[in-house]
Amino acid sequence: MNAQNRRTFAIISHPDAGKTTLTEKLLLQGGAIHLAGEVKARGQARRARSDWMKIEQQRGISVTSSVMTFERGGITFNLLDTPGHEDFSEDTYRTLTAVDSAIMVIDAAKGIEPQTRKLFEVCRLRNVPIITFVNKVDREGRDTFELLDEVADMLALDICPMSWPVGMGGEFEGIFDFVTGNLMQPTGGSKAFEGKIIATGGIDDDILAENLSERGLSKLREEGGLAKEAYPDFDLAAYQNGDLTPVFFGSALKEFGIVEMIDAIAAHAPPPRPQPIEGGFIDPSDSEVTGFIFKVQANMDPNHRDRIAFMRLCSGTFKRGMKLTPSGHGKPVAIHSPILFFAQDREIADTAQPGDIIGIPNHGTLRVGDTLSEKNNRQFIGLPNFAPEILRRVVLKDPTKTKQLRKALDDLSEEGVIQVFYPEIGSQWVIGVVGQLQLEVLISRLEAEYKVEAVLEPAPFDTARWLKGAEAKIENFASLNRANMAKDRDGDAVFLARSSWDVGYQQEKNPDLIFGATKER
């Protein structure tokens, strides 16, 4: 067993592009072992779904991320699900820090959409290599060259088509695979892929004429030939460096191009990569067990406030019962009942490799951003907090519940549901989110899990910035701007700004300070 056969990846897309469908089909092809969300006592969890889970159900969106693992051809794939709703992006961003590569799903009729682009930028920050899947070719789509050029232009990426659709929508006749020379064709009334593959010696092979309409054939030859000339060849190093994206065409719904994608991930996507720590990188081959928490998920049972912290293992071979020390507070934690998502059945497995995700049940000791290690001398970096785009004051309906509210806000900010700011003046705490939906989640979880009734009122602030710079300079700035100063949950200084103009103005006046829109833990 080693880390080389692990592929830890995520799917990024705009809502409705087909991520859920593609995920299902990948799992189906990969003979999925099980879904992480089902790991804990299922019956009980279902009965006890709290309100925020109801929001999830009502809106048909996935608020929580999970881990899905499947194996194929000796490779273990860890697929980290990211919430697709555009409001709920912070959690998604964090999940992307735990993957080594990503699949970007694009709707053939729509091209690059806003959320695809945002998520892509996060991948780019960390040079996460991306495989592009142009989905829904069974429906009318845009011109193939136009789509490819949009990806190249909008994302400033080199692109290399690995396959080519023969027509789309009503004229769809199959997918031609440039790598193998195979033509995959739909069969039957539903026009799904049922395994009909025609092996060819290339787009000029006469056998194609027997299987395609005259129109389809001439289109494939013309477009395919042009594509091969117009775009660069596949270059593994450029892909792994995040400079080039191989593009596959297919239909998640009709199961076209799914296996090809899995095979491409197995063949080209990087195994666990060295992870950034303060002062350098830690290599997966390092024998010390290290990992970081990228997500904390509260148990669905509101009566037991235990949580699952999701740790990405970065180095060493994890063994059950092992003691690891979280960087947050320094007390070693014995991990007796880790949830290892690749276990063949629901039994608790005993070991895990770099790239694997381990679920660690805990009572709030583990926080997003914590590093866990055997020797407690490491701190992974690069797990971002994002400047909130919506700020609200939290007002209690029952003022005697201050203590419960503080506990709840601390907990939920540790989970990454909200960010919390404690102003230096005044007693009304301010919470920040990047999307409206998080506010609803907050209110229902406060009630369901903490029995705290609260309302959110507009705050006189528009955004928040983390102050960085010499301590004396920060203190000096703070003394002049008390009414706008707050501390975040870690006690770090935050400037609550009335507008982004205000941020620019203060930045100009205080060139020695950095007004950070993100904070890396």
Under the rule (CB under 6 A), what is the footprint of ligand G4P?
A: 13, 15-21, 84, 135-136, 138-139, 251-254
**Which residue has 């960087």 as its token pair?**
327
Q: What does the alpha-carbon distance between residue 432 and residue 97 come to, in Å, rounded to a whole number? A: 21
The closest alpha carbon to 79, from 141, 129, 27, 142, belongs to 27
Taking the least distance from each CB to ligand G4P, the nearer of 15 and 181 is: 15
Q: Is 234 helix (H, G, I), strand (E, B) or coil?
A: coil
Within 13 Å of residue 258, how many CA atoms lie on the same side as its CB? 25
Taking the least distance from each CB to ligand G4P, the nearer of 137 and 474 is: 137
Which amino acid would we find at residue 110? K
Contact in structure between 321 and 335 (CB atoms under 8 Å): yes
Taking the least distance from each CB to ligand G4P, the nearer of 109 and 478 is: 109
DSSP-derived secondary structure letter, 251:
B
Quickly list DSSP for 46-87: HHT--HHHHHHHHHT---S--EEEEEETTEEEEEE----STT
Taking the least distance from each CB to ligand G4P, the nearer of 118 and 139 is: 139
Q: Return the number of other C-beta atoms located less than 10 Å from residue 277's C-beta.
A: 19
- How is residue 267 written in tokens? 């063949």
**Which residue has 């983390």 as its token pair?**
466
* Minimum CB distance to ligand G4P, residue 23 (Å): 8
E strand or H helix at 245: strand 244-249
Residue 509 burial (CB < 10 Å; 0-12/13-18/19+)? exposed
* Minimum CB distance to ligand G4P, residue 450 (Å): 31
What is the chain's length? Answer: 521
- How is residue 380 written in tokens? 């992974």
* Minimum CB distance to ligand G4P, residue 108 (Å): 8
* Minimum CB distance to ligand G4P, residue 81 (Å): 10
Contact in structure between 275 and 282 (CB atoms under 8 Å): yes
* Minimum CB distance to ligand G4P, residue 491 (Å): 39
- How is residue 444 written in tokens? 């229902």
Q: What does the alpha-carbon distance between residue 184 and residue 256 come to, in Å, rounded to a whole number? A: 8
The closest alpha carbon to 12, from 209, 155, 140, belongs to 155
Taking the least distance from each CB to ligand G4P, the nearer of 92 and 315 is: 92
* Minimum CB distance to ligand G4P, residue 13 (Å): 5
Q: What does the alpha-carbon distance between residue 235 and residue 246 come to, in Å, rounded to a whole number? A: 9
* Minimum CB distance to ligand G4P, residue 106 (Å): 10
Taking the least distance from each CB to ligand G4P, the nearer of 256 and 380 is: 256
Q: Is 503 helix (H, G, I), strand (E, B) or coil?
A: helix
**Which residue has 């009502």 as its token pair?**
58
* Binding site residue list for GTP: 13-20, 81-85, 135-138
* Binding site residue list: 13-20, 81-85, 135-138
Residue 59: alpha-carbon gap to chain centroid: 20
Contact in structure between 166 and 208 (CB atoms under 8 Å): no
Q: Is 380 helix (H, G, I), strand (E, B) or coil?
A: strand
* Minimum CB distance to ligand G4P, residue 144 (Å): 15
The residues with which 298 forms a beta bridge, in sequence order, are: 307
Taking the least distance from each CB to ligand G4P, the nearer of 139 and 228 is: 139
Taking the least distance from each CB to ligand G4P, the nearer of 256 and 515 is: 256
Taking the least distance from each CB to ligand G4P, the nearer of 135 and 353 is: 135
* Minimum CB distance to ligand G4P, residue 192 (Å): 10
Taking the least distance from each CB to ligand G4P, the nearer of 135 and 245 is: 135
Contact in structure between 461 and 496 (CB atoms under 8 Å): yes
* Minimum CB distance to ligand G4P, residue 128 (Å): 19
Taking the least distance from each CB to ligand G4P, the nearer of 87 and 138 is: 138
* Minimum CB distance to ligand G4P, residue 11 (Å): 8
Q: What does the alpha-carbon distance between residue 516 and residue 363 come to, in Å, rounded to a whole number? A: 31
Q: What does the alpha-carbon distance between residue 160 and residue 152 come to, in Å, rounded to a whole number? A: 10
Residue 232 burial (CB < 10 Å; 0-12/13-18/19+)? exposed
